[in-house]
A and B are shown apart, each in its own frame.
Chain A
Amino acid sequence: MIAQLIFIIILAAAVYFFGNNVSKIRRNILLGKDTDRNDQPALRWKVMAKIALGQTKMVKRPVAAVMHFFIYIGFIIINLEVLEIMIDGVFGSHRIFAHPLGGLYGFLIGGFEVLAVLVLTACIVFLCRRNVVHLKRFTGTEMTQWPKSDANYILITEILLMTAFLTMNAADYKLQLLHFGHYITAGSFPVSSLLAPLLPGSASALVITERVCWWFHIVGILCFLNYLPYSKHFHILLAFPNTYYSNLNPKGKFTNMASVTNEVKAMLDPSFVPENNGEPARFGAKDVTDLTWKNLMEAYTCTECGRCTSVCPANITGKLLSPRKIMMDTRDRITEIGNNIDKHGKDHQDDKSLLDNYITREELWACTSCNACVEACPVNINPLEIITEMRRYIVMEESQAPASLNNMFGNVENNGAPWKYSQADRFNWAEE
Chain B
Amino acid sequence: MNNEPLAIPTMAEMAAQGREPEILFWVGCAGSFDERARKITRDICKILQHVGISYAVLGTEENCTGDPAKRAGNEFLFQMQAMMNIQVLDGYNIKKIVTGCPHCFNTIKNEYPGLGGNYEVIHHTQLIQQLIDAGKLKAENGESFKGKKITYHDPCYLGRGNGVYEAPRAALEILDTELVEMKRCKSNGLCCGAGGAQMFKEPEPGIRDINIERIADVIETKAQVVAAACPFCMTMLTDGVKNQDKEQEIKVLDIAEITVRANGL
- State whether B193 touches A417 (Cβ < 8 A): no
Which residues of chain A (411-425) have a CB below 8 Å from chain B?
A: 412-413, 416-419, 421, 423-425
Which residues of chain A (254-279) have a CB below 8 Å from chain B?
A: 254, 256-257, 260-261, 263-265, 267-268
Residues of A near B63 (CB, < 8 A) are 416-417, 423
- State whether A412 touches B191 (Cβ < 8 A): no
| Nearest CB in chain B: distance from A389 CB, A | 8
Contact pick for A394, options B69, B73, B81, B206, CB 8 Å: B73
| Nearest CB in chain A: distance from B153 CB, A | 12
Contact pick for A368, options B8, B38, B156, B188, CB 8 Å: B156
Contact pick for A319, options B110, B161, B205, CB 8 Å: B205
Q: Which of A311, A313, A320 has the most CB of B within 10 A?
A: A313
Question: Would you call A372 an interface residue if the criterion is a C-beta within 8 Å of the partner chain's C-beta atoms?
Answer: yes
CA distance A404 to B200 in the complex (A): 7
Question: Would you call A146 an interface residue if the criterion is a C-beta within 8 Å of the partner chain's C-beta atoms?
Answer: no
| Nearest CB in chain A: distance from B76 CB, A | 6
| Nearest CB in chain A: distance from B239 CB, A | 14
- State whether A314 touches B76 (Cβ < 8 A): no
Return the chain B residue nearest A250 by Cβ.
Answer: B162
Majority secondary structure, A binding face:
helix
The size of the chain B interface, using a CB distance under 8 A, is: 68
- State whether B75 touches A253 (Cβ < 8 A): no
Question: Would you call A228 an interface residue if the criterion is a C-beta within 8 Å of the partner chain's C-beta atoms?
Answer: no
- State whether B191 touches A368 (Cβ < 8 A): yes
Return the chain A residue nearest B28 by Cβ.
Answer: A417
- State whether A370 touches B191 (Cβ < 8 A): yes
Residues of A near B195 (CB, < 8 A) are 368-370
- State whether B160 touches A430 (Cβ < 8 A): no
Given that A253-B106, A317-B209 are known contacts, is A429 also in contact with B160, CB under 8 Å in the complex?
A: no
- State whether A396 touches B74 (Cβ < 8 A): yes
| Nearest CB in chain B: distance from A150 CB, A | 28
Which residues of chain A (333-383) have a CB below 8 Å from chain B?
A: 362, 365-372, 374-375
| Nearest CB in chain A: distance from B159 CB, A | 9
Interface segment, B14-22, B29-37, B134-142, B246-254?
A: B29-37
Contact pick for B210, options A261, A368, A395, A416, CB 8 Å: A368
- State whether A250 touches B210 (Cβ < 8 A): no
- State whether B68 touches A260 (Cβ < 8 A): no
CA distance A127 to B38 in the complex (A): 55
Question: Would you call B219 an interface residue if the criterion is a C-beta within 8 Å of the partner chain's C-beta atoms?
Answer: no
Contact pick for B157, options A252, A372, A419, CB 8 Å: A252
The size of the chain A interface, using a CB distance under 8 A, is: 69
| Nearest CB in chain A: distance from B75 CB, A | 5
- State whether B191 touches A254 (Cβ < 8 A): no
| Nearest CB in chain B: distance from A212 CB, A | 49
- One digit per residue, 1 when the CB lies within 8 angstroms of any chain B CB and 0 when it does not, for chain A 232-244 equals 0000000000000
| Nearest CB in chain A: distance from B168 CB, A | 16
- State whether B160 touches A369 (Cβ < 8 A): no
Question: Would you call B264 an interface residue if the criterion is a C-beta within 8 Å of the partner chain's C-beta atoms?
Answer: no
CA distance A59 to B33 in the complex (A): 43
- State whether A260 touches B191 (Cβ < 8 A): no
Question: Would you call A316 an interface residue if the criterion is a C-beta within 8 Å of the partner chain's C-beta atoms?
Answer: yes
- State whether A429 touches B27 (Cβ < 8 A): yes
Contact pick for B206, options A319, A367, A417, A428, CB 8 Å: A319
Return the chain B residue nearest A252 by Cβ.
Answer: B161
CA distance A283 to B209 in the complex (A): 32
| Nearest CB in chain A: distance from B15 CB, A | 16
Question: Would you call A401 an interface residue if the criterion is a C-beta within 8 Å of the partner chain's C-beta atoms?
Answer: yes
Contact pick for A252, options B77, B83, B110, B208, CB 8 Å: B110
Question: Would you call A388 an interface residue if the criterion is a C-beta within 8 Å of the partner chain's C-beta atoms?
Answer: yes
Contact pick for B33, options A369, A426, A432, CB 8 Å: A426
Residues of A near B6 (CB, < 8 A) are 430
Residues of B near A407 (CB, < 8 A) are 200
Residues of A near B64 (CB, < 8 A) are 412, 416-418
Given that A250-B163, A313-B210 are known contacts, is A396 also in contact with B73, CB under 8 Å in the complex?
A: yes
Question: Would you call B62 an interface residue if the criterion is a C-beta within 8 Å of the partner chain's C-beta atoms?
Answer: yes
| Nearest CB in chain A: distance from B21 CB, A | 15
| Nearest CB in chain B: distance from A371 CB, A | 4
Given that A368-B191, A391-B73, A396-B74 are known contacts, is A252 also in contact with B106, CB under 8 Å in the complex?
A: yes
Contact pick for A283, options B8, B69, B75, B200, CB 8 Å: B75
Residues of B near A370 (CB, < 8 A) are 156, 160, 191, 195-196
- State whether A392 touches B75 (Cβ < 8 A): yes
Return the chain A residue nearest B7 by Cβ.
Answer: A430
Residues of A near B38 (CB, < 8 A) are 429, 432
Contact pick for A314, options B72, B202, B210, CB 8 Å: B210
- State whether A362 touches B204 (Cβ < 8 A): yes
Would you give 5 A-B contacts (Cβ < 8 Å), ordered by A? A311-B188, A314-B210, A368-B210, A369-B156, A416-B63
Interface residues of A (CB under 8 A from B): 60, 249-254, 256-257, 260-261, 263-265, 267-268, 283-284, 311, 313-314, 316-321, 362, 365-372, 374-375, 388, 390-396, 401-402, 404-405, 407-409, 412-413, 416-419, 421, 423-430, 432
Q: List 8 other contacts, CB 8 Å, given A319-B204, A427-B32.
A: A249-B110, A250-B162, A252-B106, A253-B110, A283-B75, A388-B71, A408-B69, A416-B81
Interface residues of B (CB under 8 A from A): 6, 8, 10, 27, 29, 31-33, 38, 41-42, 57, 59-60, 62-64, 66, 68-77, 79-81, 83, 106, 110-111, 114-115, 156-157, 160-163, 187-191, 193-210, 212-213
Sorted nearest first, the 6 A-B pairs with minimum C-beta distance are: A252-B161, A391-B73, A318-B207, A369-B196, A318-B206, A253-B110
